[in-house]
Amino acid sequence: MLKASKVGRCPVTIFTHEAIVSFIGCVVAAIFMLWLFGRKHDK
């Protein structure tokens, strides 16, 4: 039930504050992971 409601809620809440914050968090986490990955391969 919870998963289904969350999936259904996603398109509706894309432009809400909560969704924007979570989206920025995902982007920052992805950039951080890519940066760490790149640093590991440099050395």
d(CA 29, CA 33): 6
pLDDT value, residue 11: 56
- pLDDT computed for residue 7 by the predictor: 55
In this predicted model, what pLDDT tens digit does every residue of 2-41 receive, in sequence order? 555 555 555 555 567 777 788 888 899 999 999 999 988 7
Provide the pLDDT for residue 34: 93
DSSP string, 1-43: -HHHHHHHHTTTTTTSHHHHHHHHHHHHHHHHHHHHHHHHHH-
Contact (CB, 8 A) for 19 and 13:
yes
User: pTM score > 0.85 for this model?
Assistant: no
User: Residue 37 is encoded by which pair of tokens?
Assistant: 């990955």
